[in-house]
Structure formats: C-alpha cells, structure tokens
Amino acid sequence: MNVLVWFKRDLRVEDHPALALAAGLGAVLPLYIVEPDHWRQPDTATRQWEFIAESLGDLRGALAGLGAPLVVRVGTAVSVLEKLCKAHAITRILSHEETGNLWSFARDRAVADWARRAGIDWTELPQQGVRRRGPARAAFLAQGPVPAPAALTPLGGVEPGLIPTARALRLAEDRCPHRQAGGRVQGLALLDSFLAVRGRPYRAALSSPVTGERGCSRLSPHFAHGTLSGREVAAAVEARLAARPGAGWGGSLAAFRARLSQRDHLLQVLEDRPEVETACLNPMHAHLRPRDADATRLAAWAVGETGFPFVDACLRYLRATGWLNARARGMVMSVATQHLWLDWRDAGLPLARMFTDYEPGIHWPQTQLQAGTLGIDGARIVNPVKEGQDHDPTGAFTRRWVPELAEVPDLFLQQPWRWPGSQGFLGRKYPEPLVDLAAAARAARATVQAVRRDAADPPRPPRAKPAVPGQLSLGF
C-alpha cells in the first residue's frame, strides 16, 4: 500500500503516531503543504512562517535519514492531495488530529469530503492530550512517546520541492530580530537546558518577562508547530523528577507540569467549542464592547504607544522577540479589554500575529478569560503600574524597551504623568496615557457588574403603585 503522511503542526519524526503507523503499512510519501490561503488569514504572520520553514529544513533532514525525504508543495490541501494521490496510486492518508482555528477546521472538512468522494482512507491520530475520539489525557500520556520508525520505504519518483521563502510566498515584512529559531534541534536544546539548569527557579521566575526570558522553558513555539510533542516533554519532566534533582527543583517542575496540563485543558476548550475564536462563550458579554470601535486606540496599543510604560515595554519586547511570559500577556490583554474597552477579538488578532508560538487553542480561551467573556468571572482588571513595579523592580526592562523614558526618575517610571517634570515631556517625547487608569478601571468594573446584576436579576415590569385604602386611585 502507498501511504501519504500529511505533516501539519507536528514537524518531527519522534512521538509521531501517524509516521510510526505508516512505516509498517508500505511505501511512504511524507508531505507538507504550504497553503497560501492560510497565510492570508488575519491571525498569521511571517515570523510564524519563518519558524516553520526552519523546522521543515530540520524535518527534511530527519526524514531523509529514515530514507524518505520530505515533499513540500504549495497550494490548497485538496488540490495537492488529489494530485499526489492520483499520480502515485496512494490509497491512504495519515495525519494528526488538528485542534486549530476555524479556518483549519473548514479546510479539514473539505479534505474529509474530498477523501470520501475519492475513496481515500484518511485517518487522523491524536497527538495531544485532547479528547476527540482518542483516550483521555491521563491515558494518552501514560502510553508514552512513540519512537521514530527505524526506516521508511520511500515512494519513488516524487520531486521533493523547495521550502519557499517568505518573499516567494509574498508574505508581509515582519521585523522580529530576536525571534526564536525553529527546528527540533533547537527545541531539544531548550528542553535540555531547561531541565538541567534553567528550570530550577521556574516557579519564581515565570511571572516576570525579566526573569521569565531565561527561567521559562521557551518551548511554546516548538509545541505550537510540533517540533516537540507535549507527551515527550511530559515524559522528560517525569524522568527528571524521578532522578531527584535536588532542592528547588520539585516546586518548579510541579509548576511546569501544571502549565503543560493547562495547555491541554485549553486546547480541549477549542476542540469542544470551536466558536471560542469568534463568539463570547458567556453570551451575557456579547454586546458589551463595540467591535472595530476605536482603531486609533487599538493601533497605539499594538505598537506599544499607550503611555503606560510597562505595557508599552512588554508590547515592544513582544514585537521584537515573538514571545512574552504568560502573566504579561494577561496584563496587556486586560489593559486592552478593560481599561481601553476594546473588543477581545480586535485586540486578540494583532496579539496573535506577534506570537511566534500562536496556538489558537490557548490564545482564544486565554484572550476571552482576560476579557472576562469566557465564563462567569467578573472583570479581570490588572493594574499595569503595579505590575511594572512588581515585575520590573529596577526599571531596567522598561527603560530598555521604552528609551524615551530616560529622563524620567525611577520613582515615576511606571507613572510618568505623576512626575512634576512631565509637562512638555508627555505628549511630545512619550505619549500621554490613553485613559485615566483608575477611572477606566472603575467604569469597566461598573459596566460588567451591571450586566451580571441584570443577568442574575432581570428587570421586572414596573409594579402598579399600591393604592391607598379608602382613596380613589387615579393610576399615577
């Protein structure tokens, strides 16, 4: 049997159930499809493609080592698959189950329809601790990583195809000078250094972008594009714990393990409720914030020109690196949706484009969580002045990313509008704050509380004035 293994967001040969299964079935054609329509979607960015392109280079080498080099094609999934299946008598396609955005969901449905009509068997296998038809998370993890096949029988006569550059794909310029490099080799190096040295202070380090840059695992783009699997990382953590790594490690590894399970938990939200990308999961909040309401405010926020120093530093850092620690991601989204009262979808898209590790299954539930539209939580209002003081206590991070603040004394760094020398500085060298923080927070809290109150206790029709006994009621 000739089998096509369709690589999507699983760019590795280790712990790859589809590849392992294919190896025992017959001749294998490993394929990656570059889909221009995907790269036209508003949540995609060139930095993500560049990470993927580097990872494809690595994957090509690994597959060549197994005997069947990677084939790369550009086009729609249906047209590429149809052509290859016809040309090479392929009767079975194997891939991983993708928990992606609404675009990839629709693409997969189109592929499933075509495969049914063409009599091709397309089997999707779980690759995360997410339940579709597969086992629950604990059982999935307990199965352990699947080793890479020892060798593959290649399907002959297939031109491998180039991995296109961003320029060839006509992707927009996207300057990200400190982007993490793609490829499994990079992912494994990060995993090793995290488990050997960097991870020790993880629990204390993860809340700040200053300490998180080194103290967090930095594995997120590798998970998002599948150069590492969640299961192999979970297994490596268990092995490290079993080796009794010593003082300081236990709490950090437990905290890290909890994050891995939070990842699967949120991916499950998207798997079960794909509309989380576009609709408030709590309908009570559906019309609270107007869509596309204030493009100027949104643009100022996205480029780090809000006038709130720590927010601006975090957004500029993110733009330049493609990464930010989780707490700071929550803060920038809270400021966008609570203080600036922007719709979470409007703010979520530019944020997604800044992440090399954009993962719809984490991003949209987290975005809604911060906006308070996911469940029954109230407004999540984070004070960016306090965040800056707590998580950049020396101010070095803020000053590095917002150099315009050089002349502002330390005491006023996170709230330059309080600095007695701010006249002539704010609005010229650095923006005036977009809103009054305290007033905006009060307004957001009051609006959300009013909606919750109305939902809990819907307004009743006005009752008729009780008539005073013995008098003629005139009805007013």
| Residues contacting 277, CB < 8 A, separation 6+ | 101, 102, 270, 360, 364
Q: Are 5 and 125 in contact (CB under 8 A)?
A: no
Q: How far is the CB of 447 from ligand FAD (least distance, A)?
A: 21
Q: Are 60 and 148 in contact (CB under 8 A)?
A: no
Q: Which is nearer to ligand FAD, 9 or 60 (CB)?
A: 9
| Crossing angle of helices 184-193 and 46-66, rounded to 10° | 100
Q: What is the dihedral of CA 350, 177, 210, 212, to 10 degrees?
A: 80
Q: Which is nearer to ligand FAD, 16 or 218 (CB)?
A: 218
- The DSSP bridge partners found for residue 71 are 31
Q: How far is the CB of 116 from ligand FAD (least distance, A)?
A: 32
In single-letter form, the type of residue at position 191 comes to L
Q: Which is nearer to ligand FAD, 77 or 335 (CB)?
A: 335
Q: CA 271 to CA 127: how far, in whole Å? A: 13
Q: Which is nearer to ligand FAD, 43 or 58 (CB)?
A: 43
Check the CA dihedral 281-282-286-292 and report its sign: negative
Q: Which is nearer to ligand FAD, 92 or 353 (CB)?
A: 353
Q: Which is nearer to ligand FAD, 366 or 398 (CB)?
A: 366
Q: Which is nearer to ligand FAD, 29 or 260 (CB)?
A: 260
User: Phi and psi (nearest 5°) for 259?
Assistant: -65, -40
Q: How far is the CB of 188 from ligand FAD (least distance, A)?
A: 14
Q: How far is the CB of 26 from ligand FAD (least distance, A)?
A: 35
Q: CA 180 to CA 50: how far, in whole Å? A: 10
Q: Please state the length of the chain.
A: 476
Q: How far is the CB of 281 from ligand FAD (least distance, A)?
A: 15
**Residue among 223, 202, 221, 200 nearest 211 (CA):** 202
Q: How far is the CB of 139 from ligand FAD (least distance, A)?
A: 20
- Token digits of residue 113: 């329809």
Q: Which is nearer to ligand FAD, 240 or 259 (CB)?
A: 259
Q: How far is the CB of 153 from ligand FAD (least distance, A)?
A: 35
Q: Which is nearer to ligand FAD, 60 or 353 (CB)?
A: 353
Q: How far is the CB of 192 from ligand FAD (least distance, A)?
A: 14
Q: CA 268 to CA 266: how far, in whole Å? A: 5
DSSP H or E run through 96: strand 90-96
Give Cα 13 distance to the centre of its chain: 23
DSSP H or E run through 328: helix 326-334
Q: How far is the CB of 333 from ligand FAD (least distance, A)?
A: 4
Residues lying near ligand FAD in the complex (CB under 6 A): 206, 216-220, 223-224, 259-260, 262-263, 266, 325-326, 329-330, 333, 355, 357-359, 362-363, 366-367, 370
